[in-house]
């Protein structure tokens, strides 16, 4: 009985194999980024180059150079405060550059960085006296009455911005789609601002004022940086750091009266105030935006485009004082404000 049964089973097996269609060659589908457990190559030791294009504007307070009346004063012979709007100096949007190098030590999960940021920003502003009777253009800096009422005023700004960072980060992967870096290290800065104003009087004289300050500082920087994978090689990248600096600060204000006659050499010194100290300064850096990160056979690349803001405290100061005879008491007025450099940051990174 068993021989017929074995013959039947053999025949069914052969028939079944013959009845099945021929198997097609399977095409291997690429593994999507969502299924890739090695998005960030945490086990690869790499050297990275980073170049960033900055398109920033400096936003700054305490830069009033004139007041322009928008309505007549209640009485021409009585004491009046400001009547109208302040004319403020402003910066343009200017390009800058940041270059960085980093080395990731795998499998130790730490990374060392060196970075340099450079930006030069400028700005031009002007104001004319109102044409309606009883309205005037007045200066924010005290000027001698001999120049008469102002016909117009000009203001120009120039900022040199330099920041250098040397820091180490600790690398974490809480899950395959998230990379977090804890940042700590040294930082240094040199920032210089030159602010020049010119007032044109109805009597033919001009008044020039120059306020110039510089700051050199070094200190520590701490923060976090993260890359969160979304889909199709698109990530959300963010960074926040806090820097503390200490260093020398120098602020000098010079004011002179000049004639409109170009052949005349009668510049009269009205003001030459010099202020120096050693001061702490704080810097808050925030960066956020999308990035495209791609793993290749021999390298990894990243393209980031986002918004960056750097806020600086305890830097922008303007020292005014009253006018009087050489032996008279001079009261000092200090205007202070924040400095914020903000705008577009675009970065390209390549790992070797």
Residues 6+ apart with CB under 8 A from 119: 54, 56, 94, 95, 96, 97, 159, 161, 341
Q: Is 109 helix (H, G, I), strand (E, B) or coil?
A: coil
Helix (H) or strand (E) holding 15: helix 2-19
Residues of the chain with pLDDT under 70: 1-37, 76-78, 259-267
How far is the C-alpha of 150 from the C-alpha of 259, rounded, in Å?
Answer: 14
pLDDT value, residue 261: 56
pLDDT value, residue 30: 43
Query: What are 176-212's pLDDT values in tens digits?
Result: 899 999 999 999 999 999 999 999 999 888 899 999 9
Nearest to 168, CA basis, from 122, 102, 231 = 102
Cβ proximity of 342 and 290 under 8 Å: no
pLDDT value, residue 267: 67
pLDDT value, residue 259: 62
Show me where the domains of the chain are located. Answer: 59-69+84-351
Query: What are 102-123's pLDDT values in tens digits?
Result: 999 888 789 999 999 999 999 9
Cβ density class 196-222: b for 16+ within 10 Å, e for less: bbbbbbeeebbbbbbbebbbbbebebe
Q: Which residues does residue 316 pair with via DSSP β-bridges, in sequence order? A: 337
pLDDT value, residue 14: 43
How far is the C-alpha of 352 from the C-alpha of 85, rounded, in Å?
Answer: 56
DSSP track, 17-79: HHHSPPPPPPPPPPPPGGG-S-SS-TT--EEEEEEEEEEEEEEESS-EEEEE-SS--S-SSS-
**pTM, to two decimals:** 0.84
Q: How far is CA 30 from the centre of its chain?
A: 40
Angle (nearest 5°) at CA 39 between 33 and 45: 150
How far is the C-alpha of 319 from the C-alpha of 114, rounded, in Å?
Answer: 37
pLDDT value, residue 28: 40
pLDDT value, residue 77: 66
pLDDT value, residue 322: 83
Nearest to 138, CA basis, from 147, 126, 149, 124 = 149
pLDDT value, residue 88: 95
């Amino acid at each position: 009985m068993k021989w017929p049964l074995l013959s039947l089973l053999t025949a069914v097996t052969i028939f079944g194999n013959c009845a099945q269609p021929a198997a097609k060659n399977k095409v291997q589908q690429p593994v999507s980024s969502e299924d890739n457990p090695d998005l960030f190559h945490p086990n690869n030791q790499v050297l990275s180059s980073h170049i960033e294009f900055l398109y920033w504007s400096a936003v700054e307070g305490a830069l009033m150079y004139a007041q322009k009346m928008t309505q007549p004063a209640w009485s021409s012979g009585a004491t009046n405060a400001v009547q109208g709007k302040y004319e403020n100096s402003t910066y343009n949007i200017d390009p800058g550059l940041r270059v960085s190098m980093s080395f990731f030590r795998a499998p130790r999960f730490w990374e060392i960085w060196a970075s340099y940021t450079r930006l030069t920003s400028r700005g031009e502003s002007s104001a004319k006296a109102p044409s309606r009777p009883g309205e005037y253009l007045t200066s924010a800096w005290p000027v001698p009455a001999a120049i008469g009422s102002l016909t117009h005023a000009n203001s120009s700004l120039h900022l040199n911005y330099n920041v250098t960072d040397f820091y180490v980060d600790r690398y974490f992967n809480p899950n395959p789609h998230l990379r977090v870096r804890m940042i700590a290290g040294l930082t240094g800065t040199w920032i210089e601002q030159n602010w020049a104003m010119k007032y044109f009087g109805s009597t033919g004289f001009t008044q020039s004022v120059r306020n110039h300050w510089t700051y050199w500082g070094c200190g520590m920087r701490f923060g976090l940086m993260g890359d969160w994978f979304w889909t199709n090689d698109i990530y959300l990248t963010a960074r926040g750091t806090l820097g503390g600096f200490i260093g020398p600060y120098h602020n000098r204000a010079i004011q002179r009266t000049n004639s409109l006659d170009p052949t005349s050499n009668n510049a009269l010194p009205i003001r030459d105030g010099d202020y120096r100290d050693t001061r702490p300064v704080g810097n808050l850096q925030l960066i956020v935006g999308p990035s495209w990160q791609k793993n290749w056979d021999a390298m990894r690349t990243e393209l980031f485009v986002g918004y960056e803001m750097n806020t600086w405290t305890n830097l922008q100061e303007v020292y005014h004082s009253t006018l009087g005879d050489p032996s008279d008491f001079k009261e000092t007025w200090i205007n202070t404000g924040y400095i914020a450099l903000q705008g577009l940051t675009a970065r390209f990174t390549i790992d070797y």
